[in-house]
Amino acid sequence: MQFGRFRGVRAGSGASTLDSVSNSGRVAVPAQAAPRERALGTRLVTGVLGGALVVGFVLAGAPWLVVGLAAVAVVGLAEFYRMAERAGYRPVWEAGMAAGVLFIVGAAYPGAWQPFVVPALLGYTVLVQLRRGRAERSLANAGVTLLGAVYVGYLLGYLMRLRVLPFGPAHAAGPLPALLVIGAVWASDTAAYFVGLAWGRRKLLPMVSPHKSVEGAVAALAAGLLFGAVFAAATALPVALACAVGGVCALAAVCGDLWESAIKREVGVKDAGGVLPGHGGILDRFDGLLFAAVAGYAIMLAWPGF
């Protein structure tokens, strides 16, 4: 904004599209400043309340975390399948949602039934396609149904796996693994958002997401590493382990964000949903965490001595 230069406002026109003048007549006030501040405030409030709820579920563990993740999976799958329908697909909602919930339950309570979830999902989906009696897009409809269940439900189940992971010198389950991954993703998302907004110049993948910048991605990585170091100091975890998890999870979160952006770009929507004011939908908030949970789990599971 350049002070001292004002664009005139026609009589009867709103100031929403033009710069407005303060009461003193000397300072130009951007017309969009107030809406942006309100949007940022809404985003902040939703993030704090939602973050507290997620941390509470993680600390409580099963069965509360199972219930919370199942609810997230159902809403996230509804968003995913609704977007798929905008592109002309006809996913089998009930099959995908049932499988998504079972993936999460199986992560908390493993049983002999687990290997049959995917075959049952596939079998039911195929039967629905045959019952419809039309061959058009049967392959695509079945593929989208399975993709949604795996992408949302199965990957979300890794947060439950992190919660029950025998971790640390005592090899006991606890909230630390999940909190480390979640915190690293939140820190990287926040850094990428504000750094990209303020200094983002070089586009990361403009054909996929025109607003993602290289500077934002670098900030995400730095924030993930920093959070890992702080988390290690607060919990007595090895610094190398916590930083490795933080950095890898930050990069995985960027990839997850780009993947969801690609989906939204194909179907022509800005947000996956609207259940989270200031953030969009469940998938808009959990897209990076879905990929990061798997990456963090793999690192902690394979780390020597832990």
Per-residue pLDDT tens digits for 198-248: 898 899 998 888 888 999 999 999 999 999 999 999 998 999 999 999 999
Residue 148 shares a structural domain with residue 177: no
Residue 131 shares a structural domain with residue 185: no
Report phi then psi at 204, rounded to 5: -80, -60
Average pLDDT (66-70) is: 97
Residue 190 shares a structural domain with residue 301: yes
Beta-bridged to residue 209, according to DSSP, are 205
Report phi then psi at 182, rounded to 5: -60, -45
Q: Is residue 240 part of a domain?
A: yes
Query: CA 154 to CA 99: how far, in whole Å?
Result: 8
Of 164, 191, 212, the last residue of a domain is: 164
Of 148, 164, 180, the last residue of a domain is: 164
Other CB atoms closer than 10 Å to residue 218's CB: what's the count? 16
Torsion sign over Cα 185, 186, 192, 193: positive
Residues 6 or more apart whose CB falls under 8 angstroms from that of 247 comprise 221, 224, 225, 228
Please identify which residue in the block is written with the tokens 């902690």.
300
Beta-bridged to residue 203, according to DSSP, are 213
H or E segment at 20? strand 20-21
pLDDT digits 0-9 by tens, 78-98: 999 999 999 999 999 999 999
Spatial contact of 204 and 212, defined as CB atoms under 8 Å apart: yes
pLDDT digits 0-9 by tens, 136-161: 788 999 999 999 999 999 999 999 99
pTM to 2 decimal places:
0.84
224 lies in which domain range? 171-306
Residue 251 shares a structural domain with residue 294: yes
Of 119, 137, 164, the last residue of a domain is: 164
